[in-house]
Amino acid sequence: MAVQPNETPSDAQWTAIVDCDASHDGKYYYSVSTTRIFCRPSCKSRAPKREHVRVFKTAAEAAQAGFRPCKRCKPDGLRLPDEEWVDAIAESIRAHYPERITLDALAEQQHVSPYHLQRTFKRVRGQSPADYLLRVRIEAAKTLLRESAAAIAAVGGEVGMPNAAHFATAFQKAAGCTPTQYRLAHRAPNPSKDGDVHE
């Protein structure tokens, strides 16, 4: 039976994907909705959840559907430029910064080694993924400090830094002041509680 684009894998296809069966290479490609990556059936990356997988007849169809070629198995010889790949990783970090993010988890998600991801990200962005993640978290914390009345520890927790002491130290190093000092210097004045206008 011909493979239709964006169909769920058959039992035989799923078995091939789980077993990294190279005999299925070229017959179809599979994509993973959570990572937006597509692979050959023989890709050695950890098997995704079946409900996140779709199959395509050609690599071109997978790419046209918005999926990026896997850096590990390079389906159909396609290779995403490093700059575009790093931008996609940075976008993922920005989308998930409140969560626990590690280099190993990012590398597994992108189907590459931690060393390759670290080296390429730093070459393209001029900073490591960990440094970029910290910058994103600090900027998000600044916004919360300016716009909310949440306690300092709660702000840290909301941006993915639940250890209050670590958050305060990292914030001071990045911003040049403590979270409390930043809030006092940048917080918008509160409107009068009784609704009166003061001139």
Which CATH topology does 82-128 take? Answer: Arc Repressor Mutant, subunit A (1.10.10)
Which CATH topology does 11-77 take? Answer: DNA Methylphosphotriester Repair Domain (3.40.10)
CB-CB contact of 93 with 133 (8 Å): yes
- How far from each other are the two terminal CA atoms of the chain, in whole angstroms? 77
Which CATH topology does 130-186 take? Answer: Arc Repressor Mutant, subunit A (1.10.10)
Q: What is the pLDDT of residues 21-60, one digit of tens each?
A: 888 888 899 999 988 899 989 888 888 889 999 999 988 8
Query: How does 128-161 read in b/e, with b if 16+ C-beta sit within 10 Å?
Result: ebeebbbebbbebbbebbeeeeeebbebbbbbbb
* pLDDT on residue 199: 37
55 beta partners: 7, 30
Distance from C-alpha of 111 to C-alpha of 71, rounded to nearest angstrom: 6
Strands 37-39 and 29-32: antiparallel
Residue 196 pLDDT class (50, 70, 90 cuts): very low
Topology match between the domains 11-77 and 82-128: no
Q: What is the pLDDT of residues 104-145, one digit of tens each?
A: 999 888 878 899 899 999 988 999 999 999 999 999 999 999
The separation between CA 99 and the C-alpha centre of its own chain, rounded to angstroms, equals: 10
Q: Indicate the domain borders of the chain.
A: 11-77, 82-128, 130-186
For the CA atoms of the chain, what is the radius of gyration?
22
* pLDDT on residue 198: 39
| DSSP secondary structure code for residue 177 in this structure | S
CB-CB contact of 41 with 22 (8 Å): yes
- What percent of the chain lies above the pLDDT cut of 90? 52
29 beta partners: 56
Distance from C-alpha of 179 to C-alpha of 185, rounded to nearest angstrom: 10
Q: Which residues are catalytic?
A: 39
Classify burial at 78, counting beta carbons within 10 Å of its beta carbon; exposed 0-12, middle 13-18, buried 19 or more: middle
Output the pTM of the full model: 0.64
